[in-house]
Structure 1
Amino acid sequence: MKRTLLLSALLISPLLAQDKPDFSKMKAEKIFEQLCAGCHGADLSGGQGGSLIDGEWKHGSEDADLMKSIKEGNPQLGMTPFGTVLNDGQLRMMVIYIREKEKQAKQKGMSFPKPKPGEVTKTEKADYKIEMVIDGGLKDPWALAFLPDGRKLVTEKSGRLRIIGTDGVLQPEPVKGTPAIIEHGQGGLMEVAVHPDYEKNGWIYLGFADGTREGGKVKTITAYVRGRIKDGQWVDQEQIWKADPKFYTDAGIHFGTRLVFDGKGHIYFPVGERGGRMEAQDVANAKGKIYRLHDDGRIPEDNPKFDKDPVPGVWTYGHRNPQGLAFDPRDGSLYNTEHGPRGGDELNWVQPGHNYGWPVICYGMDYDGSPISNETAHEGMDQPVTYWQPSIATCGLAFYSGDKFQEWKNDLFVGALAQQEIRRLRLVDHKVTEQEIILKNIGRVRDVRNGPDGFIYVVLNGPDNIIRLVPAK
């Protein structure tokens, strides 16, 4: 049983008094080694102070309870208060570190569905099999879209738009004449989306890293265009959204990118904050936003108003790196998933004009173990519907609206890159009431799509394949 969050005054106090280490320059792992490992063990499994990873907490299990214990200590139990040597950001960082290790330890004792072709995979609500759609021939596939005639479109990060024929065969030649893209860091050719009225207008939308590469210097940001495919050629291209050149950056991270239609003539898409952090809080800066436009790129007159003039089209702000965007078919609510830093991946209910907090509020810390913010809530900033700690690296998002899996009807499916999994979430009144991992460890999940045939399609990286989930029966 957990005795308490304990750090020995006898072991630690002389260290603080004599050596006076500079904790302000230490990362989470080093601080834990210096202040905590002597009592709780280097692996957090316990010692004089008990385990921090067994899920049992005597003085409260909430993050605020842990932070209070670390900050104020408990002299009767021999625990030193560390609020005098650690600031609030570092205290928050230590809570994140403990949570990260606690959940990693919990998962070690769990088993997850790892499907194999031809075998039945059982989950809480439905059983399924996987079928191979494309086995080889793709390199870094990013997104999948369906054409009404039975063909499919696949983007490759390097800039190629590929077609899967009605016979299910990947055509060897990519579509010619697609826009010039810059493959840089995490960016390249990313999103592909088909207009709901494609049979009438033929429009296909692409999201990609736009920019220049001159003299070894790269400047990019996410851009969106639409065009048509005729006889294997990309034609009739129109610019949908392009940032002012002053917002282009040489950063190779956080491009964001997805595009969805609301059925009322509007499109929604994100642009990541590109590592600019506080730029996400400035509505006059193009980065770290979700946009709403008419499907031809015009700015809707009923878009939200802000205290200062926003970049045209801003719908919401305070985003980091959104790579999932989907409408709930039941009520039209828009949700997004976005990458947090080390911990703090989020699912958000996206509402017009709202601020989603990055980086002022955050449930994670920086990748190197240093703090980002000591706040997880702030007036005027929305809380996530749920968040994941440790990070799962969210990518791809789809509500299931087909008829093949009645048990999954209207559930939300969340892809994950780092954890190589798909999570099924059930939402009731914008709250998560169920969550389970239905697939794990067969590749990095880049995209999850609702197929017109009622099956769930999954784009994988490493291996670079496309599979689909079909009912076991």
Structure 2
Amino acid sequence: MQRKPYWYVKWIGGAIALAIAGLAVAVYLNQTEAVPRDSKANKVTVLSGLEHPWSMAWLPDGTLLITERPGRLRVARNGTLDPTPITGVPPVFAEGQGGLMEVSIHPNFAKNRFIYLTYSHGTDRANRTRLARATFDGKALSDVQVIFEVSQAKSGTQHFGSRIVWLPDNTMLVAIGDGGNPPVQLDGDLIRKQAQNLRSQLGKIVRLNDDGSIPSNNPFANDPNANPSVWSYGHRNTQGLTFDAPTGRVWQTEHGARGGDEVNLVRSGKNYGWPIVTYSREYFGPEISAERSRPGMEDPKLVWTPSIAPSGLAFYSGDRFPAWKGNLFAGGLVSKDVRRITLDATGNVVNQQSIDIGQRVRDVRQGPDGLLYVLTDEQNGQLIRLDPKS
């Protein structure tokens, strides 16, 4: 059979992507979900004029860093956005879901001045998620080093993952997506199946030292049939990751396909099932799997069908909202809200409420002032603060 030229394959891929997006929106609009509203907060717009912001992180002095997916790192001081982006950011592959994504601060930033960036690198035909470490002097990045990159290159512009969480031992968890939806393939099979391949870093959460090296006590460090960086596996596309310090729990949200978004309590060495066990359906209709649970695979703590398209995730430990302490807060791109998720002492979900934002929510973080901050994924994106109602 004559091989189709690349421009044709790319055109077909684009048409499929548009159809998928249309179906996803249609599915959401044609179903209802009875989630009560939480009206305890006022929305205050702190900043606007951000182009598809993706992530935020505060320095010890209160300076706020914000990534914009096209490839800019912005800085805000005292509620004012500097007009000039920070220089020294590495070039990014800013197509589809790719671009400059997470920004994270080393726990000892005050001493070492290290910040970390995740981004997509490469071309339409061959790209991967990278993690870079740089020194930040308040104006520019220097000594930028790529300290980790996904070992397999993939095609397409989907499912890069990219959230970072620091653990108490100063190792970090970095989320990597499964590589994309059908018809994207790798090694002659659907790329999403790499999530169950322990030799692959796709569809995983990896654990790294702060220099990108691999901790010797990772769960598969001594397994010759696994990549030693893998910490957990069977993930589709992690878009929210947070650490609950009082209990030592790691929480994660990941996108399903058509429905089946998940909230997971993630633990070292565990398998979260994708795509063998899932509540998701193919965008074009049928089940991806008939299995919702299987021995040896971890069940989600919460499933969203229809999809909310979960994004940033925060565990609230502040005092400004006493009733919210110990709750999870998950952003929603499609639902355009923040879900407040109440947990019991054992880590099970008790209930959820919706805080309406009215824009695509890309990130949710607790600020140093004990308030929650929300980034909206729009061409004219905003930073919104949630204040207690008097």
Q: Which interval holds the TM-score relative to the shorter structure?
A: 0.7 to 0.9
1:427 to 334, 343, 346: 343
Q: How does 1:308-457 map to 2 (within 5 A)?
A: 308-428=224-344, 429-440=346-357, 442-457=358-373
Deviations 1:367-416 (A, max 9, x none): 11122111111221111111111111000000011111111111100111
What's the counterpart of residue 130 of structure 1?
43
Cα shift at 1:271:
0.6
Task: Say whether 1:243 aligns with 2:150.
Answer: yes
Q: How does the TM-score come out when normalised to structure 2?
A: 0.86
Q: How does the TM-score come out when normalised to structure 1?
A: 0.71
C-alpha distance in 2 between matches for 1:404 and 1:155:
26
**Relative contact order, higher structure (CA 8 A, sep 6+):** 2
What's the counterpart of residue 272 of structure 1?
177
Q: Does structure 1 retain, via aligned residues, the 8 Å contact 2:56–2:103?
A: yes
Q: 1:177 to 1:102 in 2, by over 3 A?
A: closer
Identical columns (%): 42
Q: How does 1:90-101 map to 2 (within 5 A)?
A: none
Task: Say whether 1:142 aligns with 2:54.
Answer: yes
Deviations 1:99-139 (A, max 9, x none): x79992455xx8746xxxxxxxx2xxxx2212111022x11
Deviations 1:272-297 (A, max 9, x none): 01121111100101210001111221
Q: 1:101 to 1:454 in 2, by over 3 A?
A: closer
Report which of the two has the higher share of strand: 2
Letter in 2 for 1:284: R
Task: Say whether 1:185 aligns with 2:102.
Answer: no
Letter in 1 for 2:129: T
What's the counterpart of residue 31 of structure 2?
104
Q: What secondary structure sits across from 2:126 in the alignment?
A: strand
Q: How does 1:67-78 map to 2 (within 5 A)?
A: none
Letter in 2 for 1:278: K
Letter in 1 for 2:363: D
Q: How does 1:208-227 map to 2 (within 5 A)?
A: 208-211=119-122, 213=123, 217-227=124-134
Q: Does structure 2 retain, via aligned residues, the 8 Å contact 1:329–1:410?
A: no
Q: How does 1:185-204 map to 2 (within 5 A)?
A: 185-204=96-115
Q: 1:384 to 1:233 in 2, by over 3 A?
A: same
Q: 1:282 to 1:401 in 2, by over 3 A?
A: same
Q: How does 1:76-95 map to 2 (within 5 A)?
A: none
What's the counterpart of residue 153 of structure 1?
65
C-alpha distance in 2 between matches for 1:196 and 1:342:
37
C-alpha distance in 2 between matches for 1:131 and 1:205:
28
Q: Which 5+ residue runs of structure 1 have no aligned equivalent?
A: 1-96, 114-121
Q: Does structure 1 retain, via aligned residues, the 8 Å contact 2:107–2:170?
A: no
Q: Does structure 2 retain, via aligned residues, the 8 Å contact 1:157–1:183?
A: yes
C-alpha distance in 1 between matches for 2:290 and 2:298:
16
C-alpha distance in 1 between matches for 2:105 and 2:315:
17
RMSD of the alignment, in Å? 2.0
Q: Does structure 2 retain, via aligned residues, the 8 Å contact 1:103–1:390?
A: no
C-alpha distance in 2 between matches for 1:289 and 1:271:
5
Q: Which 5+ residue runs of structure 2 have no aligned equivalent?
A: 1-23, 181-190
C-alpha distance in 2 between matches for 1:264 and 1:439:
36
C-alpha distance in 2 between matches for 1:176 and 1:278:
38
Q: 1:155 to 1:243 in 2, by over 3 A?
A: same
Q: Does structure 2 retain, via aligned residues, the 8 Å contact 1:192–1:207?
A: yes
Q: What secondary structure sits across from 1:221 in the alignment?
A: strand
Q: Does structure 1 retain, via aligned residues, the 8 Å contact 2:28–2:307?
A: no
Q: 1:151 to 1:409 in 2, by over 3 A?
A: same
What's the counterpart of residue 17 of structure 2?
none
Report which of the two has the higher share of helix: 1
Q: How does 1:2-41 map to 2 (within 5 A)?
A: none
Which has the higher Rg, Structure 1 or Structure 2? Answer: 1
